[in-house]
Amino acid sequence: MPKAGNADSEYEDAYWPRHPLHGETCQRFAVADGATETSFSGIWAKQLVRAYCSGAFDNLADLEWLSKLRRKWWSFVRKKPLPWYSEQKLESGTFAALVGLTLGWKSAESEKGDWHAEAIGDSCLFQLRGSHLLTKFPLLSSQDFTNSPALLSSKPGNDSGVSAVVSATGEWQSGDHFYLMTDAVAAWFFRAHERNEAPWEVIRDLDNERDHPVVAQSGMKSFREWVDTARTQGLMRNDDVTIYRIEIV
């Protein structure tokens, strides 16, 4: 959901795929966080999550995919005339953080498998097995968030972010949960865990639909209602918020 006070059209995070996957023996998921201070960052974030899920990050030595993505971004943002000050700002390009997860297994009936992840910036991945937090990536605590995380740029020739991409690998088994989160909610998750709380119990039960009948009958909060409450209580800063919940069943 977007920042409080913003319309849904002003949401500058992105996630992919848009719908659940079933039966594939390799599944990819990604969330990205477009930098608020820059122009058209939401478009750049959308391009990056789709690129990750198409396998672009599998070979970071070959940056042709990134060049194509940048050309596509520039082509899109220059379709409409802009005021001179916006044109000037546009010359610097835009930026985004990203975390992506790839799950693989031998067959659709497998109960175990491997995973690998790539990230740049402060969007985070968490792996849960029951009530045990197995993985925190790429950050390890709430103290690791800064005002200047490494980001991937849409500007041609600015490849400094590529060298800042980090990777992790691990194993999954049936019943594991993975969460991909952009920075504001990831920071909330870390702080709650550091207070010896179990934040996964909160987000595990959230529902996407405000008026979903199951939510109405159970008294569960919708995702939007929960974020609104967390912001009001000062538990989460006002920023775009995305959680991608992956349950292996």
Pairwise CA distance, residues 87 & 205, whole Å = 44
pLDDT at residue 84 in the model: 55
* Mean pLDDT, residues 168-187: 96
* Mean pLDDT, residues 1-25: 86
Q: Check: CB of residue 221 under 8 Å from CB of residue 209.
A: no
C-alpha dist (Å) from residue 237 to 182, 198, 203, 245 = 12, 19, 17, 21
100 Cβ contact list (under 8 Å, min separation 6) = 28, 29, 30, 49, 52, 53, 57, 117, 118, 119, 180
In the chain, what are the domains?
A: 8-247 (3.60.40.10)
pLDDT tier for residue 89 given thresholds of 50, 70 and 90: low
pLDDT at residue 52 in the model: 95
- Give me the helices (H) in 131-207, please: 183-194, 199-204
Among 53-57, 79-83, 134-138, the range scoring the smallest mean pLDDT is 79-83
Note the pLDDT tens digit of each residue in 31-43: 999 997 777 899 9
Note the pLDDT tens digit of each residue in 15-25: 999 876 666 66
pLDDT tier for residue 121 given thresholds of 50, 70 and 90: very high
Q: Is the pLDDT of residue 218 over 60?
A: no
Pairwise CA distance, residues 101 & 12, whole Å = 20
Pairwise CA distance, residues 73 & 66, whole Å = 10
pLDDT tier for residue 86 given thresholds of 50, 70 and 90: low
Q: Rounded mean pLDDT of the chain? A: 87
Q: Check: CB of residue 216 under 8 Å from CB of residue 152.
A: no
Q: Is the pLDDT of residue 109 over 80?
A: no
Q: Is 206 helix (H, G, I), strand (E, B) or coil?
A: coil
